[in-house]
Chains A and B, each alone.
Chain A
Amino acid sequence: MRARNYFVGAAFALLAAGMGHSAVAEDIKIGEINSYSLLPSFTEPYRKGWQLAVEEINASGGINGKKLVVVSKDDGGKPADAQTAANELVSSEGVAMLTGTFLSNIGLAVSDFANQKKVFFLAAEPLTDAVTWAKGNKYTFRLRPSNYMQAAMLVEAASKLPAKRWATIAPNYEYGQSAVAVFKKLMSEKRPDIQWVDEQWPPQGKIDAGPVVQAVAQANPEAILNVTFGPDLVKLVREGNTRGLFKGREVVSFLTGEPEYLDPLKDETPEGWIVTGYPWYSIKTPEHDAFLKAYQAKYNDYPRLGSIVGYQTIKAAAAILTKAGSTDTDKMIAAAEGLSMPSPFGEITFRKIDHQSTLGAFVGKTAQKDGKGVMVDSSYKKGADYLPSDAEVEKLRPKD
Chain B
Amino acid sequence: MAFYVVQFLTGLASAASLFLVASGLSIIFGVTRIVNFAHGAFYMIGAYIAFTLTERFSGAFGFWGGVVAAALAVALIGVLVEMVLLRRIYHAPELFQLLGTFGLTLMVEDLVVLIWGPDDLVGRRAPGFKGAVDFFGQNIPSYDLFLIVLGPVVLGILWLLFQRTRWGVLVRAATQDRDMVAALGVNQKWLFTSVFAVGVFLAALGGALQIPRDAVHHAMDLRIIVEVFVVVVIGGLGSIVGAFVAAVLVSELNAFGILIFPKISIILVFLVMAVVLIVRPWGLFGKPEAAARKTPGLTVNPWRPLTSNERLASLAALVIAAMLPLFAGNYALTVGSEIAIFVIFAVSLHFLMSVGGLASFGHAAYFGLGAYGVAFLAKMAGLPMIVCLLLGPLLGCMGAAVFGFFAVQLSGVYFAMLTLAFAQIVWSIAFQWVSVTGGDNGILGVWPASWAASPSHFYWLALGVAALVTIALRIAVFSPFGYALRATRDSVLRSEAVGINAKRIQWTAFVIAGTTAGIGGALFAYLKGSVFPDNLGISLSVDALVMVLLGGVETVSGGVVGAIVYKALNIWLVSQTDLSKLVLGGFIVLIVVVFPKGIVGMLEILAQRRRKSSPPGSSLLAKPIESAE
Is B528 part of the binding interface, using a Cβ–Cβ cutoff of 8 Å? yes
Would you call B219 and A38 a contact (CB within 8 A)?
yes
Would you call A91 and B574 a contact (CB within 8 A)?
no
Is B431 part of the binding interface, using a Cβ–Cβ cutoff of 8 Å? yes
Annotate A26-54 by CB proximity to B: 1 below 8 A, 0 otherwise: 00000000001110110110000000000
Partner of A112, one of B132, B530, B574, B577: B530
Would you call A91 and B121 a contact (CB within 8 A)?
no
**How many residues of chain A are within 8 Å of chain B by beta carbon?**
81
Instruction: Tell me, rounded to whole Å, the shortest Cβ–Cβ distance linking A322 to chain B.
Output: 28
Would you call B262 and A201 a contact (CB within 8 A)?
yes
- Sampled A-B contacts (24; CB under 8 Å): A3-B577, A40-B118, A74-B578, A80-B535, A85-B574, A112-B530, A113-B529, A135-B444, A172-B432, A174-B434, A174-B441, A177-B439, A211-B11, A211-B255, A214-B3, A215-B258, A230-B120, A231-B219, A234-B120, A234-B122, A243-B139, A244-B132, A260-B119, A264-B215
Is A282 part of the binding interface, using a Cβ–Cβ cutoff of 8 Å? no
Given A38-B219, A105-B440, A211-B14, A21 contacting B329 (CB threshold 8 A): yes
The CA-CA distance from A174 to B432 in the complex, in Å, is 9
Q: Which of A148-156, A202-210, A289-297 contacts B (4 or more CB under 8 A)?
A: A202-210
Instruction: Tell me, rounded to whole Å, the shortest Cβ–Cβ distance linking A117 to chain B.
Output: 9
Is B302 part of the binding interface, using a Cβ–Cβ cutoff of 8 Å? no
The CA-CA distance from A21 to B328 in the complex, in Å, is 9
Q: Which of B29-37, B331-339, B350-358 contacts A (4 or more CB under 8 A)?
A: B331-339
Residues of B with C-beta under 8 A to A205: 219, 223
Residues of B with C-beta under 8 A to A234: 120, 122, 214-215
Residues of B with C-beta under 8 A to A108: 441-442, 444, 530
Is A388 part of the binding interface, using a Cβ–Cβ cutoff of 8 Å? no
Closest to B431 in A: A173
Would you call B529 and A211 a contact (CB within 8 A)?
no
Q: Is the interface of B mostly helix, strand, loop or mixed?
A: helix
Annotate A1-16 by CB proximity to B: 1 below 8 A, 0 otherwise: 1111100001001100
Closest to B534 in A: A78
The CA-CA distance from A192 to B434 in the complex, in Å, is 27
Is B322 part of the binding interface, using a Cβ–Cβ cutoff of 8 Å? no
Instruction: Tell me, rounded to whole Å, the shortest Cβ–Cβ distance linking B187 to chain A.
Output: 41
Given A41-B118, A214-B3, A215-B7, A231 contacting B215 (CB threshold 8 A): yes
Would you call B447 and A116 a contact (CB within 8 A)?
yes
Max chain B Cβ within 10 angstroms of own Cβ: one of A13, A84, A85: A84
The CA-CA distance from A108 to B441 in the complex, in Å, is 7
Is B460 part of the binding interface, using a Cβ–Cβ cutoff of 8 Å? no
Given A173-B440, A200-B258, A79 contacting B532 (CB threshold 8 A): yes
19 additional A-B pairs beyond A13-B576, A116-B447, A242-B143, beta carbons within 8 Å, are: A10-B576, A18-B328, A37-B580, A37-B581, A91-B455, A105-B532, A109-B530, A112-B530, A128-B441, A172-B265, A201-B265, A208-B14, A214-B255, A231-B120, A231-B220, A239-B213, A243-B141, A260-B119, A264-B120
Given A88-B575, A177-B439, A234-B214, A242 contacting B139 (CB threshold 8 A): yes
Would you call B331 and A116 a contact (CB within 8 A)?
no
The CA-CA distance from A87 to B14 in the complex, in Å, is 44
Partner of A212, one of B215, B258, B575: B258
Closest to B131 in A: A242
Partner of B578, one of A4, A13, A17: A4
Is B541 part of the binding interface, using a Cβ–Cβ cutoff of 8 Å? no
Annotate B241-255 by CB proximity to A: 1 below 8 A, 0 otherwise: 000000000010011
Would you call A92 and B332 a contact (CB within 8 A)?
yes
Would you call A92 and B330 a contact (CB within 8 A)?
yes
Residues of B with C-beta under 8 A to A1: 576-577
Would you call B213 and A40 a contact (CB within 8 A)?
no
Is A199 part of the binding interface, using a Cβ–Cβ cutoff of 8 Å? yes
Residues of B with C-beta under 8 A to A17: 331-332, 572, 575
Is A130 part of the binding interface, using a Cβ–Cβ cutoff of 8 Å? yes
Is B39 part of the binding interface, using a Cβ–Cβ cutoff of 8 Å? no
